[in-house]
Amino acid sequence: MMGSNRPGASPAAPFPLLVPTTSPPAITPTTDHGVAGIGATPAGDAVLERLRAWPGDRRVAVGLSGGVDSSLTAALLLAAGWQVEGLTLWLMSGKGSCCAEGLVDAAGLCEQLGIPHHVVDSRERFRNQIVDLLVQGYADGITPLPCSRCNREVKFGPMLAWAREELGVERIATGHYARVRPAAAPGERHQLLRGLDAHKDQSYFLYDLPQDALGRLVFPLGELTKADTRAEAARLGLRTAAKPESQDLCLADHHGSMRAFLDAHLAPQAGQIVLADGTVVGRHDGIHHFTIGQRRGLGVAWKEPLHVVALDAARNRVVVAPRAEAARSHCEVGAVNWVSIAPPETPLEVAVQVRYRSAPVAALLTPLPAIASDHAADRPHRCRLRFQEPQFSITPGQAAVFYADEVLLGGGLIQSAGEADPA
């Protein structure tokens, strides 16, 4: 189901009440409104020049969440002379930035810019691909990473397909802080690069995108800092310029907290908190409330701080250990998607991130034969990572993403962690 709002017309069902009754005046790509003039920052000027010099077709659908990043993306493309249409995925019903609030702000932004706005009902896909998988993962004792899967299976792939089929548009743009270096020649690979703002770089969540998607993406904010984005949005008078940034996973934002989301889907199941030797040190009400590396909130009184080192779903146990016993020397990574390079056949030294906010660390990557689950995920590659220094919080279900300087080489899902090493 899709709703479409073109300037001067009422929005079609199913969102008859989502467009504000009043909005700021429309912004058009003329210097009268300041949109196509000098940017508020040198980086903003540079982005406009690159967009104006873009070769080929300049029609684009912009994925709009209702936040400042996607709003500025649309405004910059419009200012650079592109033909822009807004596209919002309706993922959930209720409160939150991915729900009614985001839809209202996205619709209002499109009215302000004077561009069409399309709403695609993606609730069933989101529930099947993300919610159900997330709940099952936590029940099985892993800590799933929904964002990278959502980007591939719910957002980028379906948006690209919808834009092509419904609008005849080949490209989509989003407000992600990442960059794409186009293939230098036919048959070569597009490369995915970190965003220049190290604090906002979101390439980690994009590791699972295929080559055909990368070649059709535009990331105007990849060379901006968040401060640049705020300054440019304020210069343009965008209605979302000062909108606070969501700090949580969309499901946590929607339900109030991740714990509340999980409690809504998984029943309490009392079990033991144990040391590696089986000594019982406490009790819990569900392994889904814990994650590898967790120290706070264990409810355990012990002679030294304890960290979660394993979740044993079969026996409904949370295994804890002192920090000195919690480090891991290696891990196995499955369903690997090789992005910027062809799958290597020999060991490779990489910098690897094992969580979004973790610093990259040196590791030796050794290719392994793919197994059935890798083939089933249509990513028939697997590897072992041996860390130069033992690492904490190596968490099955999270992504391990490999880099060479600013270039994202590939990534996959952590399947298992190696033996404990002394700190």
Residues 155-198 pLDDT 10s: 999 999 999 999 999 999 999 999 999 999 999 999 999 999 99
* Alpha-helical segments (H) within 243-283: 250-255, 258-265
The confidence score (pLDDT) of residue 160 equals 97
Average pLDDT over residues 378-398: 94
Delimit the domains of the chain by residue range. 2-253, 268-323, 326-421
Mean pLDDT of the chain: 88
Q: Where are the beta strands (DSSP E) in 122-204?
A: 171-173, 178-181, 191-194
The confidence score (pLDDT) of residue 282 equals 95
- 147, 250, 331, 383: the catalytic one is 250
The three-class DSSP label of residue 148 is: helix
The confidence score (pLDDT) of residue 31 equals 37
The confidence score (pLDDT) of residue 30 equals 39
Query: How confident is residue 94, by pLDDT bands cut at 50, 70 and 90?
Result: low
The confidence score (pLDDT) of residue 5 equals 54
Q: Who has greater pLDDT, 254 or 79?
A: 79
- Residues 75-86 as b or e (16 or more Cβ within 10 Å = b): bbbbbbebebbb
The confidence score (pLDDT) of residue 3 equals 57
Q: Which of 97, 60, 54, 112 lies closest to 236 in space, CA to CA?
A: 112
Task: Indicate if 331 belongs to the active site.
Answer: no
DSSP secondary structure letter of residue 94 = S
The confidence score (pLDDT) of residue 10 equals 30
* Angle formed at CA 118 by CA 112 and CA 123, multiple of 5 degrees: 125
The confidence score (pLDDT) of residue 12 equals 34
The confidence score (pLDDT) of residue 56 equals 86
Query: How confident is residue 213, by pLDDT bands cut at 50, 70 and 90?
Result: very high
Compute the radius of gyration of the chain from its Cα atoms. Answer: 23
Query: How confident is residue 421, by pLDDT bands cut at 50, 70 and 90?
Result: low
d(CA 223, CA 85): 22
DSSP secondary structure letter of residue 165 = I
Average pLDDT over residues 15-30: 37
The confidence score (pLDDT) of residue 99 equals 65
The confidence score (pLDDT) of residue 4 equals 56
The confidence score (pLDDT) of residue 245 equals 83
Q: Which tokens sit at 146?
A: 């929904």
The confidence score (pLDDT) of residue 102 equals 87
Q: Which tokens sit at 174?
A: 């989003």
- 110, 150, 331, 383: the catalytic one is 150
**CB-CB contact of 208 with 411 (8 Å):** yes
Q: Which residues are within 8 A (CB) of 376 and not within 5 positions of it... i.e. 6 or more apart?
A: none
d(CA 106, CA 412): 32
The domain over range 326-421 is classified in CATH as 2.40.30.10 = yes
* pLDDT tens, position by position, 294-351: 999 898 989 999 999 999 999 999 999 998 899 999 999 999 999 999 999 999 999 9
* pLDDT tens, position by position, 251-271: 776 677 888 889 999 999 999
The confidence score (pLDDT) of residue 100 equals 73
The three-class DSSP label of residue 255 is: helix
H/E segment holding residue 365: strand 361-368
Average pLDDT over residues 29-34: 39
The domain over range 268-323 is classified in CATH as 2.30.30.280 = yes
Query: How confident is residue 40, by pLDDT bands cut at 50, 70 and 90?
Result: confident
Q: Who has greater pLDDT, 387 or 5?
A: 387
DSSP secondary structure letter of residue 88 = E
pLDDT of 250 over the 90 cut:
no
CATH topology assigned to domain 2-253: Rossmann fold (3.40.50)
Query: How confident is residue 14, by pLDDT bands cut at 50, 70 and 90?
Result: very low
pTM of the model: 0.88
